Amino acid sequence: MLFSYNWLQSFFKGKLPKPEKLAEFLTMHSFEVENLKKVKGDWIFDIAVLPNRAPDCFSHLGIAREISVLTGLTLSSLLSEIKEDKDIKAKDFVLVEVKDKIACPRYTARVITDIKVAPSPKWLKDRLKSCGLRPINNIVDIVNYVMLETGQPLHAFDFEKISGVQNQKSKLKTKNIVIRKTKKGEEIVTLDEEKYDLDENILIIADIEQPLAIAGIKGGKKAEIDEKTKIVVLESANFYPQVIRKGSRIINLRTDASLRFEHGIDPNLTEIAINRAASLIQEITGGKVTKGLIDFYSKKVLPKKIKLDLDYVEGLLGVKIPKKEIKNILKRLGFKIEEVSSQQLLVEIPTFRLDISIPEDLIEEVGRIYGYEKIPKVFPRAALVPSAKNSELFWERKIKNILKETGFSEVYNYSFIGQKDISLYQFARSKEVIEIENPISSFNRYLRPSLIPNLLKNTKENLKWFDEIKIFELGKIFYKKEKKMLSGVLAKKESKDEEFFELKGIIDFLLNKLGISNVYYDQYKQTPEASSIKIWHSAKCAEIKIDGEEIGFLGEIHPTILEKTGIKEKVFVFDIDFEKLAKLSSEEQEYQPVSIHPSAIRDLAVLVPGGTKVEEVLNKIEVTGGELVRDVDLFDIYSGEEIPEGKENFAFHIIYQAEDRTLSSKEIDKIYQKIIKVLEENPEWEVRK
């Protein structure tokens, strides 16, 4: 915002510091001076006034107050002398009615007769130009001048252009001014010839026929001041900031007046500003000010009082400022001081300081005027105590990172399911399903007893766009009791029935990274908890066990579920109890160096009766091979035309490796033959050669 150095000087009898020095004072203690330039014998300050100080410092008077505090110069009074004409009364000319007392808490008006509209004096034009405003005529220029001087926007109406009714007593036609909200279909042409269709509930100033101005934003063309104007109705009002901000946004029009009203203005400023403007009009135009101020003031705003504890000042600023200096600073700021005790002051805040409401605001004022540069730099003293380790959160992050390493993406779903899900997964048979008393919709009627239903919905939608889906979720379920589960989905558009083993490998990798051993996969048996939940394909599902304790399930989703959810592809899922998993996990990892000796791989195919568990064959191979069998991987299950009916062919990769030597072919053959012999001890098993 632009401010004139010469104008600021007019508030003081003493000489102001040089412009550069004054700019430094303001920047260090009040607001940053963003630019300073010399213009025709004057210096123009571009000051970034902070929003909280807009109510009192969007004006030359406000900046002059700051300068007075910083320099100690005495500020001249702005009180204006008005010589009212006792023979004519303002109330005989204008009748004001405020219909919305919240939107317009105060409205003042004065009537000035016998004016002569002409160009403004040079000094007035120069001051307006220095602040970026174009001079128009003496009445309009005075109104704009007082706004820049005091921060209070005003407006002048041509009395004779306002509609009204005949006053029988005074034989004058009394003009009606109504402050109200707009009606449907109303419009206005503003001073700049722009036409606005006004929505309902925009605050306007109107006569008995039509709008005269958009309140706090822009004047209308109807009552415009021109060369023929003889009588002026001067308006100075206070409007509720949100009302002006909303109206300005609706009609997409922002002005100097609306900018000030949007930030809030002291209601007590209206009278000061209108008297100042009336005094200047009387002085410059020779007009007569009618007797009386028309003043609607719904609820008078009084100064606030705040208790200030001097010990708290020291504690917050970090420096001990003498009591005498604190009192001096507050008095220079225009605050009234009363001592409550040796360490407490009762401070009365002038109404123009809308930004001061709590003790901390007062302390900030003391600090900035005292000078932040005087406050010594002291490092804070505090004991840095690390927070206790949250084991649950630690393992959550660890598990998520491991699964992301394997190509999985994490999803977050709502903790609710609908009636359709309850029926599909047959949760309704259990009395433990929790129904919400006030659900946001029918699709969110129950707390989820499993993560799987919502994960399958994710899978269905994502299979429309991707050939492979690898997602997981770690979240709470609500079934019998609240607990955390870890569930994941693997699905491919072109399934080759290898996904079960791929997912098993991922689970093995996860458990290994978590420091968990003694893992094996057992035949799937429905637990009492899951007895009513028919999710798994009974022939393609396994229980995940650690040291004999079941921690979850791994398998293919039942075809019936997939059909009813509209998923055509096979879907493989793991569902693990996170709380058990976290309890069994360990941060300790045993380091095993990579063997310098090469490994050897031999394949082995076993023909077994249908329904034989892979784990049975794997266990035989691993136990028989001993330490020299490093790993065994199942890579194929076949039951085609070349295989006798009722039989299946299991194909394994057997990896041989020793820690201390390179195994010879004879050693590997010996172990291989031993494995064959042990496998064929079962008369129903046949090793294919």
CA–CA distance, 470 with 490 (Å, rounded to integer): 5
Q: Which two tokens stand for residue 352?
A: 């123009």
Those residues whose C-beta lies under 8 Å from the C-beta of residue 46, and which sit 6 or more positions away, are 1, 2, 33, 34, 35, 36
CA–CA distance, 23 with 133 (Å, rounded to integer): 23
Those residues whose C-beta lies under 8 Å from the C-beta of residue 424, and which sit 6 or more positions away, are 453, 561, 564, 565
Supply the DSSP string of 624-670, one letter for each residue: HHGGGEEEEEEEEEE-STTSPTTEEEEEEEEEE--SSSPPPHHHHHH
* 461 marked as part of a ligand binding site: no
Q: Which two tokens stand for residue 673?
A: 């033959």
600-609, strands of its sheet edge to edge: 629-638, 647-656, 600-609, 686-688
Burial per residue of 96-120, b for 16 or more beta-carbon CB atoms within 10 angstroms, e otherwise: bebebeebbbbbbbbbbeebebeeb
Instruction: At 80, give phi and psi (nearest 5°).
Output: -110, 140
* 660 marked as part of a ligand binding site: no
CA–CA distance, 676 with 689 (Å, rounded to integer): 10
Nearest to 485 by CA among 516, 524, 454: 454
Those residues whose C-beta lies under 8 Å from the C-beta of residue 183, and which sit 6 or more positions away, are 200
* 361 marked as part of a ligand binding site: yes
- Return left, alpha or beta for 40; rule: phi > 0 is left, psi -120 to 50 is alpha, else beta: left
CA–CA distance, 502 with 499 (Å, rounded to integer): 5
Answer for the pair 156, 222: CB distance below 8 angstroms, yes or no.
Answer: no
How many CA atoms lie less than 13 Å away from 211 in the CB half-sphere?
A: 30
- Return left, alpha or beta for 41; rule: phi > 0 is left, psi -120 to 50 is alpha, else beta: left
- CA dihedral sign of residues 74, 372, 55, 25: positive
* 502 marked as part of a ligand binding site: no
Instruction: At 22, give phi and psi (nearest 5°).
Output: -65, -40
Answer for the pair 666, 615: CB distance below 8 angstroms, yes or no.
Answer: no
Please count the other Cβ atoms lying within 10 Å of the Cβ belonging to residue 139: 27
Burial per residue of 607-630, b for 16 or more beta-carbon CB atoms within 10 angstroms, e otherwise: bbeeebebeebbebbeebbeebbb
CA–CA distance, 27 with 645 (Å, rounded to integer): 94
Q: Which CA distances in Å does 503 have to 350, 406, 506, 534, 633?
A: 73, 10, 5, 21, 14
Q: Which two tokens stand for residue 485?
A: 């589960």
Q: Calculate ∠ Cα 508-510-512, nearest 5°.
A: 65
CA–CA distance, 435 with 443 (Å, rounded to integer): 12
CA–CA distance, 333 with 647 (Å, rounded to integer): 98
Instruction: At 276, give phi and psi (nearest 5°).
Output: -65, -45
CA–CA distance, 482 with 472 (Å, rounded to integer): 19
What does the chain come to in residues? 689
* Residue ranges at the known binding site for Mg(2+): 355, 361, 364-365
Detail the residues annotated as belonging to a binding site. Answer: 355, 361, 364-365
